[in-house]
Structures are given as structure tokens and as C-alpha cells.
């Protein structure tokens, strides 16, 4: 099952002057969530309301995610692919544990790089 899809950006009224457009749109969407949560507005039954609320919340989050930040699915994929075993280097500097036999001096095993990346991501 797909957990992430790409849809066009929501068309929302522009925010206050001096506020970055992404931030203004995210604030607007969060105001919609607040109105749903406080019962000010309702869309269909409780299931539809919950789905719309979730969609709007995801859109607000996406607007404020830095464009170069990997999606959650990529982080999870890398986490799943990492071998928990430590690298084991042969006399030529290749990682025998992960099958990277021709690493150049100073080059890291990709498995070690992935571990470091996940650690930096705080995931
Ligand atoms: Zn390795």
C-alpha cells in the first residue's frame, strides 16, 4: 500500500504580508484544523471529518518541511536496509561484512554512511 502520494498544492488564501508563503499557507491550514477540532465546522460524518483533518494536517506539515528533507518513507526505507552488524575490514580496506570490497582509502562503507545519516536525521 502506498503511504505517500503526490497531489497538487492546496489553494488557500494568502497569508499576512511579511510571512513566508509556505508558512502563511501552513498557518491557514492549521486554522482549519482548529475549526474542525473545536466543532466550528464539520465535513460529513466523523470518518470524513477525520480524513479531511488528516489530509489538511499532512498538507500543512509538507509546506513547512524543508524541500531537501527526505520523506518519512525514505528514512524508513534506509532504516530497514541497514545491516546492524558492524563493518569488518580486510587488509585492503574493503568491508567484508557488507560486501564493499573495493573501498578507496578514506571511503566509508555505505552501510556505515547510512547508519550515520539515520543518526543525523534523528530517526
Ligand atoms: Zn560495512
Q: What is the pLDDT of residues 6-62, one digit of tens each?
A: 777 777 776 678 888 888 888 888 988 999 999 898 778 888 888 888 888 988 888
Task: Please indicate, yes or no, whether residues 18 and 61 belong to a single structural domain of this protein.
Answer: yes
Confidence band of 123 (pLDDT split at 50, 70, 90): low
Task: Please indicate, yes or no, whether residues 60 and 77 belong to a single structural domain of this protein.
Answer: no
102 has a pLDDT exceeding 90: yes
**Ligand 1 centroid distance, CA of 102 (Å):** 11
**Ligand 1 centroid distance, CA of 37 (Å):** 48
Confidence band of 91 (pLDDT split at 50, 70, 90): very high
CA–CA dist 25, 30 (Å, integer) = 9
CA–CA dist 47, 38 (Å, integer) = 16
CA–CA dist 14, 34 (Å, integer) = 18
Task: Please indicate, yes or no, whether residues 43 and 95 belong to a single structural domain of this protein.
Answer: no
Q: Which domain holds residue 101?
A: 72-121
Rounded percentage of the chain residues whose pLDDT exceeds 90:
37
pLDDT for residue 111: 97
pLDDT for residue 41: 81
Of 106 and 4, which is predicted with more confidence? 106
CA–CA dist 62, 73 (Å, integer) = 13
Taking CA atoms, 78 is separated from 26, 35, 52, 59, 81, in Å, by 28, 37, 30, 24, 5
**Ligand 1 centroid distance, CA of 3 (Å):** 30
**Ligand 1 centroid distance, CA of 123 (Å):** 20
**Ligand 1 centroid distance, CA of 108 (Å):** 8
Q: Is the dihedral of CA 89, 90, 92, 94 positive or negative?
A: negative
Task: Please indicate, yes or no, whether residues 93 and 63 belong to a single structural domain of this protein.
Answer: no
pLDDT for residue 23: 86
Contacts of 26 (CB under 8 A, 6+ apart): 60, 61, 63, 64
Task: Please indicate, yes or no, whether residues 33 and 17 belong to a single structural domain of this protein.
Answer: yes
pLDDT for residue 75: 83
Q: How many folded domains does the chain comprise?
A: 2
pLDDT for residue 44: 81
Task: Please indicate, yes or no, whether residues 77 and 48 belong to a single structural domain of this protein.
Answer: no
**Ligand 1 centroid distance, CA of 87 (Å):** 4
Amino acid at each position: 500500500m502506498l503511504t505517500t502520494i503526490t497531489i497538487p498544492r492546496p489553494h488557500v488564501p494568502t497569508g499576512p504580508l511579511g510571512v513566508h508563503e509556505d508558512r502563511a499557507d501552513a498557518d491557514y491550514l492549521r486554522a482549519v484544523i482548529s475549526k474542525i477540532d473545536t466543532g466550528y465546522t464539520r465535513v460529513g460524518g466523523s470518518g470524513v471529518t477525520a480524513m479531511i483533518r488528516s489530509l489538511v494536517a499532512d498538507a500543512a506539515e509538507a509546506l513547512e518541511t524543508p524541500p531537501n528533507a527526505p520523506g518519512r518513507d525514505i528514512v524508513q526505507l534506509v532504516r530497514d536496509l541497514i545491516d546492524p552488524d558492524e563493518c569488518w575490514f580486510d587488509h585492503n580496506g574493503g568491508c567484508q561484512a557488507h560486501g564493499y570490497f573495493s573501498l578507496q582509502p578514506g571511503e566509508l562503507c555505505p552501510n556505515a554512511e547510512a547508519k550515520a545519516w539515520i543518526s543525523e536525521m534523528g530517526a
